[in-house]
C-alpha cells in the first residue's frame, strides 16, 4: 500500500506544491510592480476590480496570495474596503486557469518543458552575468526572461506532480476505504464537499485537491458528481489561509477575510443542490470526465462572482470605515 498509494500521493504532492510555489514566486516578482502601479485605477468599480483581480490571479496562480495581499493593502490604509469586493470575486475566477490546464491532461509535456525552461533560465542568467556579444554584463535586461522561464519550470513541475499522482488510480479502485467513501458520497454528496474542504484546509492548496480529483475522474475512479462536490468543498477549505492571516490583523483586514469566507461558503451552499444540473452543463462542454470537473470549477466560480457582483455596488459598503 505504501509503494502503490501513499508514496505516489506524497511525492506527487511535494512536486506539485513546489511547482506552484516556484510559479507563484516567479510570476509575483514579475507582476508585483504592475500590481501596485495600477491598483487604484483598476479598483475604481467592483466590475473593474473583478476583471483586474481575475487577470492578476491568473498570473500569480494563487487566489489565496491575492486575498492575503489585499488584506495587507487594506491594513496599510492603501485600499478602502469597498474596493476589495471586486478583487475577492475576481480572485476566485483567476485561479481556475490552473485547473483548466490540468484538465487538458497535458502531463506528457512536463519533462520536456521542465528541461527547456531550465536551459532558458540558465542562459538568461549567464547573459545577465557576463553580457551578450561582448557587451558588459549585470544589466538585468534578461531578468524578465529568467522569471518567465522559472514560471514555466514551476508549471512543468505541477504537471509532473499530477502524473506521479495518477499512479495511484488502480490501487485506489481496490481500496476498501475509498470504495466506502465513493458509496457514501454517491448517496449523499455532502460527504464529497466535506472531504474537499478538509483536504484543502490541510494542504492549503485548492488547486492540488481539485487536480487530484481531476486525475481520479480522468482514470474512471471518481464519479464526476462526487468530483464536483469536492470542487465546491475545496472552495470552502481555501478560506482557511485567509482566516489564519486575519489573526492579529486590523479590523478592516479581518473584514476582508470574513467577506472572502462568506462569499465562498455561501456560493458552495448555494450550488450544492444543483450539482446534477452543473454536471449536465459541463457534459455539453466536454465528454472527458477530468475536463468536466475542471469546467465545473470554472463555471461555478464565474456564476458565483456574477451573482454577487451587483451586491458590491450597494452604497452601504462605501460607508464602512474601520479604526484600529
Per-domain residue ranges of the chain: 2-169+178-319
pLDDT at position 324 is 47
Compute the CA torsion angle 292, 261, 185, 220 (nearest 10 deg).
Answer: 30
pLDDT at position 63 is 73
Residue 246: all three cell numbers together: 486575519
Determine the Cα–Cα distance for residues 102 and 234; give it in Å rounded to an integer: 16
Nearby residues of 126 by Cβ (< 8 Å), 6 or more positions away: none
Determine the Cα–Cα distance for residues 252 and 324; give it in Å rounded to an integer: 8
208 to 147, 240, 260, 304: CA distances (angstroms)? 23, 15, 20, 21
Give Cα 174 distance to the centre of its chain: 30
Count of alpha carbons within 13 angstroms of residue 316, beta-carbon side: 4
Answer yes or no: are the C-beta atoms of 189 and 65 closer than 8 Å: no
| Residue 205, Ramachandran bin (φ over 0: left; ψ between -120 and 50: alpha; else beta) | beta
pLDDT at position 131 is 60
4 to 90, 112, 291: CA distances (angstroms)? 39, 26, 25
pLDDT at position 77 is 66
169 to 26, 46, 77, 118: CA distances (angstroms)? 32, 43, 49, 30
Answer yes or no: are the C-beta atoms of 146 and 126 closer than 8 Å: no
Walk along the chain (324 residues) and give the pLDDT tens digit of each residue: 556 666 776 777 777 777 767 766 776 676 655 655 566 667 778 888 888 888 877 776 667 667 767 776 676 666 777 777 888 888 888 878 777 777 666 666 778 888 888 898 888 888 777 665 555 555 667 777 888 888 788 878 877 776 776 566 566 556 556 666 767 777 888 988 988 888 877 766 777 788 888 888 887 878 889 889 998 998 888 887 777 767 766 777 777 788 888 888 998 999 899 999 999 999 998 888 888 998 998 999 899 888 888 887 777 766 665 544
pLDDT at position 139 is 60
pTM of the model: 0.70
Amino acid at each position: 500500500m505504501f509503494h502503490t498509494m501513499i508514496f505516489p500521493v506524497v511525492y506527487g504532492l511535494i512536486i506539485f506544491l513546489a511547482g506552484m510555489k516556484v510559479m507563484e514566486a516567479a510570476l509575483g516578482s514579475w507582476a508585483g510592480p504592475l500590481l501596485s502601479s495600477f491598483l487604484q485605477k483598476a479598483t475604481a468599480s467592483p466590475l473593474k476590480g473583478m476583471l483586474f483581480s481575475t487577470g492578476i490571479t491568473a498570473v500569480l496562480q494563487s487566489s489565496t496570495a491575492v486575498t492575503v495581499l489585499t488584506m495587507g493593502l487594506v491594513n496599510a490604509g492603501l485600499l478602502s474596503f469597498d474596493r476589495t469586493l471586486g478583487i475577492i470575486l475576481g480572485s476566485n475566477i483567476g485561479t481556475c486557469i490552473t485547473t483548466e490546464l490540468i484538465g487538458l491532461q497535458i502531463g506528457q509535456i512536463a519533462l520536456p518543458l521542465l528541461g527547456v525552461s531550465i536551459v532558458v533560465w540558465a542562459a538568461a542568467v549567464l547573459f545577465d552575468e557576463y553580457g551578450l556579444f561582448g557587451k558588459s554584463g549585470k544589466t538585468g535586461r534578461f531578468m524578465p526572461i529568467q522569471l518567465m522561464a522559472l514560471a514555466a519550470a514551476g508549471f512543468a513541475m505541477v504537471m509532473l506532480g499530477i502524473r506521479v499522482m495518477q499512479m495511484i488510480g488502480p490501487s485506489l479502485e481496490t481500496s476498501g476505504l475509498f470504495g466506502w467513501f465513493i458509496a457514501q458520497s454517491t448517496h449523499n454528496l455532502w460527504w464529497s464537499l466535506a472531504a474537499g474542504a478538509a483536504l484543502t484546509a490541510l494542504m492549503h492548496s485548492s488547486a492540488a485537491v481539485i487536480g487530484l480529483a481531476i486525475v481520479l475522474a480522468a482514470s474512471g475512479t471518481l464519479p464526476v458528481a462526487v468530483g464536483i462536490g469536492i470542487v465546491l468543498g475545496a472552495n470552502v477549505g481555501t478560506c482557511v489561509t485567509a482566516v489564519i492571516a486575519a489573526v492579529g490583523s486590523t479590523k478592516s483586514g479581518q473584514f476582508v477575510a470574513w467577506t472572502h469566507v462568506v462569499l465562498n461558503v455561501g456560493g458552495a451552499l448555494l450550488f450544492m443542490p444543483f450539482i446534477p444540473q452543473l454536471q449536465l452543463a459541463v457534459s455539453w462542454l466536454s465528454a472527458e470526465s477530468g475536463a468536466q470537473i475542471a469546467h465545473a470549477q470554472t463555471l461555478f466560480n464565474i456564476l458565483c462572482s456574477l451573482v454577487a457582483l451587483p451586491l458590491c455596488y450597494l452604497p452601504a459598503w462605501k460607508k464602512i470605515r474601520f479604526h484600529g
